[in-house]
Amino acid sequence: MKPDIEDLKKQVLFESLDDNELQIVMGILRVVEFSKEGFIFQENDPTKGLYLIHSGKVEIKRKLQLDTKSKMLVMLRNIKSDEIRHTAHGWENRFAVLEKGNFFGELSVIESRRKHSAECVALEDTVLLLLPSEDFLKLEETNVYIVVKILKSIAKVTSGNVRQLDRRILKALMGT
């Protein structure tokens, strides 16, 4: 399954790209598939690049090392939320559940991170489009205007995420 231009137009990351630019990007994307509950990556795995969700759903989370007192405080603060939870594998913090059209792994290309600081699991059978880090760097050299548009899209989404986090922190502080 190779994506076409219409598939790429549905990706928030590529909203501002025209058909010619999408054609260039389409030539470097790789399709990767994961079964339900399959790890896309685990903490400390080497990064591969920027992932776009073509179909399916993923969860990004991180294991937490908590002492007993911290666990009790987390449970009290987190009664109405499932962001921090106890599982059979220990305590974890859920950062995001992402679906079709969303992207993740952007820090591997923005900050040149070499290892993941969280884990990502497919919540259902999932098809991802991978923009490999090395190809992103080549795109930077050959088509800087495309990269600028992609980075603007990343900034726009990140800005929205920061505003949402700010609201969640305020709610937690107010105890609502």
pLDDT of residue 68: 57
10: domain CATH number is 2.60.120.10
Residue numbers of the domain that contains 149:
5-174
Encoding tokens for residue 92? 């974890």
Residue, of 58 and 92, whose pLDDT is higher: 58
Helices (H) and strands (E) in the chain, counts: 6, 9
Q: Is the pLDDT of residue 10 over 80?
A: yes
pLDDT of residue 127: 97
End-to-end CA separation in angstroms for the chain: 46
Tokens of 25: 């990007």
Asked if residue 85 lies in contact with residue 92, where contact means CB atoms within 8 angstroms, the answer is: yes
Reported in sequence order, the residue ranges of 105-149 that DSSP labels E, i.e. its strands, are 119-122, 126-132
**pLDDT tens column, 51-73:** 999 999 999 988 776 555 565 55
Question: Could you tell me the pTM of the whole model?
Answer: 0.81
* Structural domains in the chain (count): 1
Q: Where does the pLDDT of residue 96 fall: very low under 50, low under 70, confident under 90, or very high at 90 and above?
A: confident
